[in-house]
Structure 1
């Protein structure tokens, strides 16, 4: 999830409200009292929650030495970076070595450039604008900027019941579109795209905020690119919603339901690599086909092709590492 900080100095209530409603993660103010009555949100101020030098650093890039100083700061802390002529090269160099870079920008155009650097973009935006419409425009860019994941068509090789177990439903604070879901899997390096419950069904109404993700032991891809166990996900955390084209966005988790249900093991293969998932044996649970259409697990058969995401290397506490790990 990328940071979205907005500079509201001097105080402007309309701009502050636009920032809060747009999902800002912090406000830069002259005094923390200015924003306390509007919402619970971190405030960057002399008496605020975030203090320069303790929670972040701020530096203007004027030459190679200041670029190197910013890179040094970014090893441990977030760094607000401003360039004198808004050249891209210094930001490219910094983004290449750290995901803690926050680019200071003045409008949506500059924000779009910063978010597109080296494809993954900066770790966040500090918007220096009092214009509510400009704030909303940048907020929209950030909401849409979850990046793109390469999805592959995997051929199903096995579908078999595995008895009853504990499965996880993730209820988010957002509505999913058709063909959108979350990536889960038995192994951290091979995940399948499970669809949200957006489609009509003769037995239950659609629940377009929900992904019936699967058994508690499985991995799920998070917005930061790490994997977590489904059993670890809880209310107030974030998840990664992904379309059939691989476009991702961050969604907030409102509730998690863990219940005992009959389960299916689904295995699929792509060029010798196997992805698998243990998901609930129910008509409302669907995988996304290679055409982007959600297909119920009760209708899937061997030879069908579904979308998944394959990664290289192993994972240690969810973080990718260059290590050989065998998972079956």
Structure 2
């Protein structure tokens, strides 16, 4: 039975396929027709969000003010307007009118919208929580003040902040700097059990880990999420899960900026890893060594079941997983200095 919208991998003998449920489109509901929601509507249309607008004042909800809107509803009360629009758990709602923010917030949170942004201060947020007696689950869907913290002041700047926040939620991202997020990213290349084990071990130890495989991965018990594209993969790793992205040509690597590449392809890739691809490039596998011509700073020879000698006291060994983790942690301490 299909129950998840995330891509899934099914393997049967020599055959494998990916399947996923159709993903329903997100929609945007704007409550209030003031300058902020006008600016939000303009920007939302450019990223493909269908828009509905509701108001109690006819002059603030006209087609010239909201040419992007699929539907505009004006009634005497905000309750009437909200009863006429369809909302569900794929709806992002923004209330930008102090005249009816409490009433609208109560109705929309009870109707399970995915996101309710209310224009206002932190004091307004606390007032809403107390007066409406919100549950923990409802408080998690309430965003007040709205938007990412970019110092927005004008309606247009607030619109950028709000749409960025919505996109970060859709993409399961935190909304930080791309420069900084990539500095914890580790790309593990390869489809072998060695590559998968190392990747999940790194994730368990706090690293954002993305597996790039050029061939089909056999069904595995490991907690790995198959990603549909780079954006989805970043969403997976930002939620502390291991992402698996298929890339037969090896071109995806050029779109990433990882701190470290762990190459377990053993030189069989269409697009070999090079020292210029990341600050640290580690060659991994029984046939990988610096003498073999691999373009890596470090080579760890061995198999998953075996051990690798390192700079530990004489006679001590460590697993491949431990060796990679120790190598990366030592490197990052030096890299940050």
Which TM-score tier does this pair reach, normalised by the shorter chain? 0.3 to 0.5
Task: Report which of the two structures shows the higher radius of gyration computed on alpha carbons.
Answer: 2
| TM-score, length-scaled by structure 1 | 0.36
Higher helix share: 2
Structure in which a larger fraction of residues adopt strand = 1
TM normalised by structure 2 equals 0.35
Greater relative contact order structure (CA < 8 Å, 6+ sep):
1
